[in-house]
């Protein structure tokens, strides 16, 4: 059975476990189902980074739109525009976008304040162009609503109202201070119709850009929510595992004394001629002593993984030797000969053997043997820089629900209370080692569970890597 304290072990393997999943450490969670304090900001920053990329794309579209509009109004309609300052504003937008692209690539996270600053700069650029082209009478003042709507989706409440206040101030300023347009009346019998056409184009741009960008922003926000939900699930699972580890460690300490007493009594019985003279009794005593030694070994393994006997659970070995000893130890402990072991790893390499990792594989083998006592196969392969262990059986396979809930607590194909915890521990340990677990039903019948582990985490040099 997989040792429940594996993930809280402070020894060689579990010290790597704690470092590979810092976002949601079990002891940092506020309680079952709550994510650690650093996890939510990390997910939020990831979404903000993607949203900043969308704002940069929108700014490129604004540059193209302004160039096209200026060319159409000045060249086609013949309305004179102050080209030099308007081109300068466009040049400033291009420079800002290039700087933003370089800045985003060097940042791992983007804050709400930085999103607000980007939107405010866009409002300032729009205000400058409107000032140079008629002020508040310009039909493209409706583009202010685009910035406000994006802010309402992206920003917190205080930042949204800051953006609203800025756009109101800018619009009010354009009513008072602006450069009027000189529209040649000989070219336009009714300038108001031209204004209506401009309003329609502005409405069309607002509608299209809002649908495109708000849809993509909402997708980013949904991805963020999904990440947060996954982090909460991981935190709940790890909290559950920690509680199991504490229980198992306490039970191991309590069992140590009675097991030692029973071992002494059985050892004394084996030295009594009156008992050993009977071959059947002597054989029973030998079996009892072997079983007691097995129980003591299991208790010792729990204490080793819990840190009570640190240093005994790890040793230098190689992949071939570790796998061969693992298969042989499992056969001997279960007194079975139906395990078929196939080693296709290739060239050998040095790794650190650890009792916790061995218990993970034992747990998968035990599950396979329980449903398929006549045949179990363990296959080891190397794919790129990963060790791939595949355990196959001829059992009834997994149900669709079990495959969908792989590694979730209390989801088991065995139909007994408390089932599914072994596979939950397997999934968590492998995930924390940087690997993953996959399960499938074999076409010829039975099931297969595949454990994929990065070799860098198993290598002797990798045990101290952060």
Give the CA distances from residue 465 to residues 18, 56, 294, in Å, rounded to whole numbers and listed in that order.
11, 37, 34
Q: Counting Cβ atoms within 10 Å, is residue 7 exposed (0-12), middle (13-18) or buried (19+)?
A: buried
The tokens for 244 are 């199991």
Name which residue leads in pLDDT, 386 or 401. 386
CA dihedral (110, 116, 121, 125) positive or negative:
positive
Q: Are 386 and 453 in contact (CB under 8 A)?
A: yes
Cα 100 → chain centroid:
27
pLDDT-wise least confident of 4-8, 235-239, 383-387: 4-8
pLDDT-wise least confident of 163-172, 280-289, 452-461: 452-461
pLDDT-wise least confident of 71-80, 173-182, 283-292: 71-80
pLDDT-wise least confident of 48-57, 326-335, 438-447: 48-57
**What confidence score (pLDDT) does residue 208 get?**
79
Strand pairing of 386-393 and 376-383?
A: antiparallel
Q: pLDDT tens-digit profile of 270-295? A: 888 878 888 888 888 888 888 888 88
Q: What is the CATH number of domain 314-464?
A: 3.30.565.10
The pTM score is 0.45
pLDDT at residue 173 is higher than 90: yes
pLDDT at residue 16 is higher than 60: no
pLDDT at residue 466 is higher than 70: no
Question: Of 400, 385, 370, 389, nearest to 448 (Cα)?
Answer: 389
Q: Kindly provide the b/e burial profile for residues 39-59, where b requires at least 16 CB atoms within 10 angstroms of the residue's own CB.
A: bbebbbbbbbbbbbbbbbebb
CA distance 48 to 156: 12
| Residue spans per domain, the chain | 39-231, 314-464
Q: Are 426 and 414 in contact (CB under 8 A)?
A: no
């Amino acid at each position: 059975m997989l040792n429940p304290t594996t993930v809280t072990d402070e020894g060689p393997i579990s010290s790597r476990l704690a470092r590979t999943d810092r976002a949601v450490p079990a002891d940092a969670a506020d309680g079952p189902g709550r994510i650690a304090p650093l996890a939510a900001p990390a997910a939020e920053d990831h979404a903000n980074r993607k949203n900043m990329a969308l704002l940069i794309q929108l700014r490129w579209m604004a540059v193209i739109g302004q160039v096209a509009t200026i060319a159409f109004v000045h060249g086609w309609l013949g309305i004179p525009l102050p080209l030099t300052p308007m081109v300068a504003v466009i040049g400033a937008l291009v420079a800002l976008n290039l700087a933003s692209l370089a800045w985003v690539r060097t940042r791992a996270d983007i804050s709400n304040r930085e999103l607000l600053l980007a939107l405010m700069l866009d409002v300032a650029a729009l205000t400058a162009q409107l000032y140079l082209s008629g002020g508040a009478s310009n039909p493209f003042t409706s583009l202010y609503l685009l910035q406000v709507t994006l802010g309402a989706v992206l920003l917190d409440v205080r930042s949204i109202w800051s953006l609203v206040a800025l756009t109101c101030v800018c619009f009010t300023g354009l009513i008072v201070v602006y450069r009027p347009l000189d529209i040649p009346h000989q070219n336009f019998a009714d300038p108001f119709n031209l204004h209506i056409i401009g309003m329609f184009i502005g409405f069309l741009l607002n509608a299209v850009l809002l649908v495109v960008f708000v849809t993509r922003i909402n997708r980013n926000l949904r991805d963020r929510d999904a990440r947060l939900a996954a982090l909460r699930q991981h935190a709940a699972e790890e909290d559950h595992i920690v509680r199991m580890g504490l229980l198992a460690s306490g039970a191991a300490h309590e069992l140590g004394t009675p097991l030692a007493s029973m071992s002494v009594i059985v050892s004394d019985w084996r030295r009594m001629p009156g008992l050993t003279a009977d071959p059947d009794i002597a054989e029973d005593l030998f079996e009892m002593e072997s079983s007691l030694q097995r129980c003591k070994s299991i208790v010792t393994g729990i204490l080793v993984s819990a840190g009570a006997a640190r240093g005994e659970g790890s040793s230098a070995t190689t992949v071939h030797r570790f796998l061969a000893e693992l298969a042989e130890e499992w056969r001997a402990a279960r007194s079975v000969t139906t395990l078929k072991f196939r080693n296709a790893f290739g060239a050998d390499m040095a790794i650190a053997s650890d009792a916790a990792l061995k218990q993970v594989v034992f747990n998968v083998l035990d599950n396979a043997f329980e449903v398929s006592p006549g045949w179990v196969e363990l296959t080891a392969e190397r794919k790129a820089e990963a060790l791939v262990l595949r355990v196959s059986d001829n059992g009834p396979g997994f149900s669709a629900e079990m495959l969908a809930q792989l590694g979730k607590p209390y989801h088991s194909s065995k139909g007994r209370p408390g089932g599914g915890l072994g596979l939950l521990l397997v999934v968590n340990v492998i995930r924390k080692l940087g690997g993953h677990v996959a399960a499938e039903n074999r076409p010829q019948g039975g099931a297969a569970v595949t454990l994929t582990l990065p070799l860098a985490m198993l290598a002797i040099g990798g045990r101290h890597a952060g």
